[in-house]
């Protein structure tokens, strides 16, 4: 099978990195993402998972992928896929509004995330561990992207988008 690659970008900051899809470990997730590209949305910086940026978007797979190649301890360069319902994200602590459905106007959202540094632990104080599907691994540009993610953390995310395109 030929390797597939995606470009992950912080559009306003003009920074991107390249990741290889892990089709051998997460075939259903990789196929769902690849078929839906380009994808993107307003970027958020994680409050609890530590060194993570992500975008929330409408579900795009014909059927949500089962948990394949799971982790609760993503490493630098991991691209992760999560599916959440508004009832999972509807506490004020997350900052999305009274209900997560306010973000997209629906009950289910997909979270595509990039982890840019180490020492991450996917734990939700309300529900416990939150395993993600590792579907890609950054192979080029992670240091530049990490610098931009630190800037996003300190300067703010308003007006910034996180996008995923075929490379």
Pick from 82, 86, 1: nearest CA to 46: 82
**Number of domains the chain contains:** 1
The pLDDT tens digits for 101-125 are 556 666 788 999 999 999 999 988 7
pLDDT above 90 covers what percent of the chain? 77
Domain harbouring 162, CATH code: 2.40.100.20
State which residues form the domain around 79: 5-166
Quick check: 99 pLDDT over 50? no
Cα–Cα distance for residue pair 64/76, rounded to 1 Å? 25
| Residue 16 to residue 105: CA distance in whole angstroms | 29
Question: pLDDT at position 16, please?
Answer: 98
pTM of this prediction?
0.93
What gap in Å lies between CA 167 and CA 148, rounded to an integer?
20
Going by C-alpha positions, the residue among 110, 120, 107 that lies closest to residue 54 is 110
Is pLDDT of 89 > 90?
Answer: no
């Amino acid at each position: 099978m030929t390797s597939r690659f995606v470009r992950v970008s912080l559009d306003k900051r003009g920074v991107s990195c390249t990741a290889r899809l892990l089709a051998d470990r997460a075939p259903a997730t990789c196929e769902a993402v690849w078929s839906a590209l380009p994808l993107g949305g307003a970027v958020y910086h994680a409050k609890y998972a530590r060194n993570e940026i992500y975008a929330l978007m409408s579900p795009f797979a014909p059927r949500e992928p089962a948990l394949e190649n799971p982790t609760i301890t993503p490493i630098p360069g991991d691209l992760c896929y999560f599916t959440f319902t508004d009832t999972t994200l509807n506490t004020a602590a997350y900052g999305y509004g009274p209900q997560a459905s306010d973000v997209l106007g629906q009950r289910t959202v997909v979270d595509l995330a990039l982890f840019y540094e180490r020492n991450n632990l996917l734990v939700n104080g309300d529900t416990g561990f939150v395993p993600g599907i590792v579907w890609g691994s950054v192979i080029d540009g992670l240091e530049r992207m990490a610098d931009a993610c630190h800037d996003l953390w300190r300067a703010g995310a308003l007006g910034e988008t996180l996008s995923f395109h075929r490379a």
